[in-house]
């Protein structure tokens, strides 16, 4: 059974930092692009960041550029999201996902495997 499991969420004050991790099991995703998405209550799911299979090409939502960094350890099929200077508007459930291909993508429909998500709450 293929699983993506996120960890590292929690409650943090505005201006603080969190590091999310996503570990894969059941298969390797070393040749797949990966991404982090988030969904806040009452809002649509949005792409936060994505990374290609090499780890060298990344994409970010404008709202997180300069604050968040996506990275990966392909040998471990693990993806990270370092979140700095957190704001209350970053509060959401964050999910990782694996794309069907290896090229970096910002299209939600390109992602075929999804984790359950981890809650990130940023207090004022």
Residue with structure tokens 């099991």? 25
Phi, psi of 14 (to 5 degrees): -55, 135
* Structure tokens that stand for 119 in this block: 């809650």
pLDDT confidence of residue 114: 96
56-90 confidence digits (pLDDT tens): 999 999 999 999 999 999 777 899 999 999 999 99
Give the whole-angstrom CA distance, residue 11 versus residue 56.
Answer: 30
Give the whole-angstrom CA distance, residue 7 versus residue 13.
Answer: 18
25-54 confidence digits (pLDDT tens): 888 898 999 999 999 999 999 999 999 999
Q: How confident is the model at residue 1 (pLDDT cuts 50, 70, 90)?
A: confident
């Amino acid at each position: 059974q293929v699983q993506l499991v996120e960890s590292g969420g929690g409650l943090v004050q505005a201006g603080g930092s969190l590091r999310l991790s996503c570990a894969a099991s059941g298969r390797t995703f070393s040749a797949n692009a990966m991404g982090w998405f988030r969904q806040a209550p009452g809002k649509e799911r949005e792409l936060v960041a994505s990374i290609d299979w090499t780890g060298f090409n990344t994409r970010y939502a404008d709202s997180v550029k300069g604050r968040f960094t996506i990275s990966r350890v392909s040998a471990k099929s693990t993806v990270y999201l370092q979140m700095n200077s957190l704001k209350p508007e970053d509060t959401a459930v964050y999910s990782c996902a694996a794309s069907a291909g290896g090229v970096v993508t910002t299209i939600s429909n390109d992602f075929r495997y999804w984790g359950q998500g981890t809650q990130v709450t940023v207090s004022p």
